[in-house]
Amino acid sequence: MFYRLALKRKENSSIQEGFQVKKQFNKKLKEDWFMSLLLETGAPIVTVFGGSGFIGRYVVSRMAKLGWRVKVAVRNPNHAIFLKTYGEVGQIEILQSNVLSQSSVLSATEGSMAVINCVAGKLMETNSAVSRRIYVDAANFISKAASLSRVKKLVHISALGASIGSESFYSRHKAKGEQKVLENFPSATILRPSVVFGFEDQFFNRFASMAVISPVIPLIGSKSKFQPIFVDDIALAVEKAIGSEKLTGIFELGGPEILSFRQLMEQLLIVIRRRRVVLSVPFAFGNVMAFCFLSLKKATLGLFSPPITADNIINLKSDNVVSKDVKTVKDLNINPKAIMSIIPQYLYSYRPNGQYSEITDSQS
C-alpha cells in the first residue's frame, strides 16, 4: 500500500517536472524565435570600440541580449572571437580597427545607430604621449566619426576624477578627451566610474594574488577613499543611456559604499580567509619605488611592467568618490551592487583551499 502511494507520488512529481522542463523549453524557443525575427527584420546596429576589454565585454553582452546587431571594433580581432558566443549566429561582428586612424574609425561607425567608446589604455602607463593618444586623440576620432556617420547616440566611458587642472596626466587626458567628445557630439553621454570591480578586474584580483604569496600587503595612500562599482552596473548604465535621448551629459558612477583603501583590503582578506599585515607606505617612499620601477622598465627596454607609477601616486593622493550636485546612478535608476555581494563569487580561488574551503572548514 505504502509502496504504491510512494510510486504514485513519484510519478506525479516526474510529470510536474516534465511540464516545467517543457514550459522552460517553450519559453526559450519563443525567445530564440523573437531574436531571430529581430535579426531578420533589420535590428539596429551599435559599434562598440574596445569591446573585448574588461568593461567592453559586459557592454557587448547587454547590447546583444537587447537584440542589437553589435559591431565590435578592436585592435586585435583574434583576441575578441569569444564575444561571438554572446549572441545569435551573425549577431556579433568582430572588426579590426585602429582608433588612432580617422578613416579606420569612420569605417567602423558607418551604418550604426549608436556608438560606444570603451577603449582603455594601461592604468600603469608611464608615457604621457601614449596616454594622450589613447584618451584624447582616440576619443576625438571616435566622436567625430559618430557625428559624421549621423548616429543617434554616443556613449563615452571616462573615469572619475577627470580634471583639466589635475597634476596627473591620466586624469588630465581623460578630461581633455571628454572635451573633444562634447565638441564633436554635444548630446553625448559621458560615464565616469570609480574603481571598477568584477570577475576579470585588475584591482581585487591583483591584491588577492599578492596576499597568496606575501605576508605583507603594502598600500600607498591607505587612507584614500574609493567608491567601487560593479562592472555590470556600468554596462547597465550604458544600456540605459543608449535607450534614452534624454540621458545626456556627464554621469559619475559609484557603488553604494565609500571605503578607504585599507578598508577595501580588509574586506578582501576576509573573503579570501587569510591573515596579512596591511602596511601603509608613505607617498615619499612610494615615489622612490615608482622611480626605481621606471628605471627598471627602461633598463629592460620595456619588458618589465611597473606595478605602480608616479602618475598613479598623484591620483592616490585624492579621494575617488562621486562629487556632490552631479548626475549619478540614481538619475539612471540603477541600484548598484555591494562589494561583498559580488567578490566572494570570484575571489574564492585565492583561499587556502580554493573552491574546497567550505568542505575543509566543515570537516575541521
pLDDT, one tens digit per residue, over 38-48 is 555 578 999 99
Cβ neighbours of residue 251 closer than 8 Å, sequence gap 6 or more: 189, 190, 191, 192, 237, 241, 326, 327, 328, 329, 331, 332
**Residue found under cell 581623460:** 174
Cell numbers given for 19: 511540464
Residue with cell 553582452: 61
Give buried/exposed letters for 170-190 (b at 16+ CB in 10 A, else e): bbbbbbbbbebbbebbeebbb
Higher per-residue confidence, 315 vs 11? 315
In the chain, % of residues over pLDDT 70? 86
How many CB atoms are located within 10 Å of the residue 315 CB?
A: 19
Instruction: Give the residue numbers spanning the domain of 121.
Output: 44-363
> Which residue did the predictor score with more confidence, 6 or 219?
219
Please check whether residue 92 lies inside any domain of the structure: yes
pLDDT confidence of 120, banded at 50, 70, 90?
A: confident
On whether the CB atoms of residues 71 and 78 are closer than 8 A, the answer is no
DSSP state letter for 349: G
Structure pTM?
0.86
What percent of the chain stands above pLDDT 90? 80
At 36 the pLDDT is 52
With respect to residue 28, please indicate whether it lies within any of the assigned structural domains: no
Triad 246, 252, 256: Cα angle to 5°: 115
Query: Phi/psi of residue 44, each to 5°?
Result: -65, 150
Radius of gyration for the alpha carbons in the chain, expressed in angstroms and rounded: 24
Number of domains in the chain: 1
The answer as to whether 14 is a domain residue is no
* 8 Å CB contact between 273 and 296: no
Which residue matches cell numbers 573552491?
355
Beta partners for residue 281, in sequence order: 220
Pairing of strands 45-49, 114-117: parallel
Write down the pLDDT at residue 30. 47
Q: Is residue 204 included in any domain, yes or no?
A: yes
Predicted pLDDT of residue 138: 96
Residue 5 within any structural domain of the chain: no
Q: Report the alpha-carbon distance of residue 148 to residue 156 in Å, rounded.
A: 16
Q: Which residue has the higher pLDDT, 19 or 175?
A: 175
End-to-end CA distance of the chain, in Å? Answer: 44
Residue 285 domain-assigned?
yes
Where on the phi/psi map is residue 221: left (φ > 0), alpha (ψ -120 to 50), or beta?
A: left
CATH number at residue 284: 3.40.50.720
Q: Which helix (H) or strand (E) holds 114?
A: strand 114-117
With respect to residue 25, please indicate whether it lies within any of the assigned structural domains.
no
CA distance 73 to 100: 12
| Residue 270 included in any domain | yes
Q: Are 135 and 70 in contact (CB under 8 A)?
A: no
